[in-house]
Structure 1
Amino acid sequence: MSNINLIIEERPRNIGNFMVGRLLPFQGKRMVGPFIFIDHMGPALMKPGENMDIGPHPHIGLSTLTYLFEGNIVHKDSLGTEMEIKPGQVNWMTAGSGIAHSERTPGYLREQSKTLHGLQIWVALPKELEEMEPSFFHADTEQLPYWEADDVAYTLIAGSIMEKKSPVPVFSPLYFLQLKSAQQKKVSIGDALYGEVGLYILEGSIESEGTTFGPKELLVAKDSGLCEFTMNANTTVYFFGGEAFPEERFIYWNFVASNLDLIERAKQKWLEQKFQPVPGETGFIPLPTENNNFKQHR
């Protein structure tokens, strides 16, 4: 019997002046553990003068995780943070009761040719922490746990697994784990996984139960304890998941909450421009008249 419960392929989405491949939310699977939103950015080849420019916009009830493979983004937020993220680093912003931020190409790259490629992820907060104070954390590449086993290279980007712990301050049991292999290798880590589990294939391919799966596919497992597969040569995959929350989650635009009243209050607060402003920024992304995300999650 197959252990693969669902196969999700990237769907193109336009987020302004940038196209992404959306993985979550999906109509048949709104969340995987606490992970509620995953976008694969690029790879986007940008000419001089073509840049990422996502102006100030708000979040509540979640943490955002940005992880780049190529390119650079300057993050600014209403806490006064200004941080350039580079490939292999982690930006982790916890919105809690409310935060606003912008994401832009750094000034020194704006008139150069460049590539932008990475993952942007939302992790819902536990109900008791949904209205916590907002915060920001940045981790350099060398701070992330890295190890090799049987010619497979592991990097723990966030959470805890295999007796390793990332410095990224998560708020519920979860993991976001990168595996890279230059050779064909069988991988069996089911005994280390917990909760709900997804596997995303960035490049290369894997074989599971006689079937080959390729890039830009997300596989959701029925039973995390049965996760065995073969990584073909030059393959990169990501395991993510963790303990699911007992309450359902709602999502409207950039707002996530277990209570629709929290979302309505956040909408009104943004309409009235009562979120703390982002220093050094002018303008803002207006509240959409229609919600382009799925309203109800779990």
Structure 2
Amino acid sequence: MNNTTMLVEERQRDLGNFMVGRLLPFKKKRQVGPFTFIDHMGPAKLFEGSYLDVDQHPHIGLSTLTYLFEGEIEHRDSTGTVQVIRPGDVGFMTSGSGVTHTERTPAHLRNGKTSIMHGYQIWVALPKALEDMKPQFDFYGAADLPKWEENDLVITLVAGEGFGRKAPLRGYSPLFMVDVLAKKATHLYLKDQLKGEVAFVIVKGGITHEGETIEAGQMLISKTDEQCCIELQEGTQVLLFGGEPLEDEPLLLWNFVSAEKEKLQQAKADWQNKLFPKVPGDDTYIPFP
């Protein structure tokens, strides 16, 4: 690896009945563009007694982006939103000044049968000027996303701008998220296609960069947008994240993101004192760790 790239190994952690792999943040790199947190969920088998059940918890200063390859998640939040997110869909909850939400296996999948859950949850930090915006939830079905084939690649623009196209989900600062699947061994040319920092998250298969193979469970970060070409093995699937870094570097405290330490501490106190809005009909509560 040269000094314009970084290689990140996925780190495992528990999420209730679920094991997830955390890719971002890590010690040497806190953000990639406005993306500040990336969790890899699964692939995991769900069955009676091990469904996904993430109880009510809070956020400020960010948007959460949920993108699945397999399985379904029922999202509920304190704005009153109830939405089932399926493979290829994009759920985008913007917390702004404060929101709470839950994530669960939908009722129709709690039937005793085994199902598979696999996807990513990503946090996108809000620009400082928008940290206190009103919370909202946006949903984009898989059929609404730009999708095309070129050079033996199936490319889906999940969010932002890239490859001369625009996704319906634009976000609140210059960013992109792209899903790339290689039908055959081929090359992905990026020169002039994306703007800003770029992270390559290998979902399956492997990519080759400067003679070194990077495999599933790893993330390659390019600190420059001049990266021209990546070699993909047949069947490889890669997610590209990135964009322009925010002017004010975001700080993290548990589920809270802000450019100001005082806001993080206030959010902590508000959650401990149960002052956040609640998900309608839900009395669950995850304590501040």
Question: What is the Cα deviation at residue 163 of structure 1?
Answer: 2.0
Partner of 1:89: 89
Residue aligning to 1:268: 269
Out of 245-254 and 68-77, give the one that drifted further: 245-254
> Is the 2:47–2:113 Cα contact (8 Å) retained in structure 1?
yes
1:153 aligns with 2:154: yes
| 1:54 alignment partner AA | V
Give distance in 2, aligned partners of 1:219 and 1:55.
Answer: 32
1:125-204 equivalent positions in 2, closer than 5 A: 125-204=126-205
The Cα offsets for residues 150-209 of structure 1, whole Å up to 9 and x where unpaired, read as: 121110111111221111140000000011111011121122121111111111111122
Q: CA deviation at 1:270?
A: 0.9
2:253 maps to what in 1? 252
Task: Give the match's secondary structure for 2:226.
Answer: helix
Gaps of 5+ in 1: 289-298
Amino acid at match of 2:116: T
1:59 paired to 2:93: no
Gap runs ≥5 in structure 2: none
RMSD: 1.3
Report what 2:105 is aligned to.
105
Q: Does 1:17 align with 2:20?
A: no
Deviations 1:27-64 (A, max 9, x none): 11111010000000000112223201101100000000
What secondary structure is seen at the aligned counterpart in 2 of 1:192?
coil
CA separation in 1, counterparts of 2:183 and 2:265?
49
The one-letter code sitting in structure 2 at the alignment partner of 1:81 is T
Q: Provide TM-score, normalisation by structure 2.
A: 0.97
Amino acid at match of 1:157: V
Which amino acid is the alignment partner of residue 9 of structure 1? E
Q: 234-243 vs 105-114, which deviates more?
A: 105-114
* CA-to-aligned-CA distance 1:68-100 (integer Å, 9 cap, x gap): 111111000000000011111010000000000
**Is 1:73 paired with 2:66?**
no
Quick one: distance in 2 between partners of 1:2 and 1:272? Answer: 48
Do the aligned partners of 1:3 and 1:223 also contact (CA within 8 Å) in 2? no
Rounded to whole Å, the distance in 2 between the matches of 1:114 and 1:131 is: 38
Whole-Å separation in 2 of the counterparts to 1:90 and 1:227: 28
Deviates more, 1:225-234 or 1:36-45: 225-234
Contact 2:22–2:40 (Cα < 8 Å) also in 1: yes
Runs of 4+ in 1 over 6 A off after TM superposition: none
Count residues in correspondence: 288
Cα distance in 2 between the residues matched to 1:222 and 1:127: 23
Query: What secondary structure does 1:267 align onto?
Result: helix
Q: Does 1:222 align with 2:236?
A: no
The aligned amino acid for 1:27 is K
Question: Aligned partners of 1:147, 1:252: CA distance in 2, in Å?
Answer: 39
Give the 3-state SS of the residue equivalent to 2:274 in structure 1: coil
What SS does the aligned partner of 1:246 have?
coil
CA–CA distance in structure 2, aligned partners of residues 175 and 3 of structure 1: 23
Measured after TM superposition, the shift of residue 258 of structure 1 is: 0.2
Do 2:30 and 2:36's aligned partners in 1 also have CA atoms closer than 8 Å? yes
**Alpha-carbon separation, structure 1, partners of 2:247 and 2:140:** 30
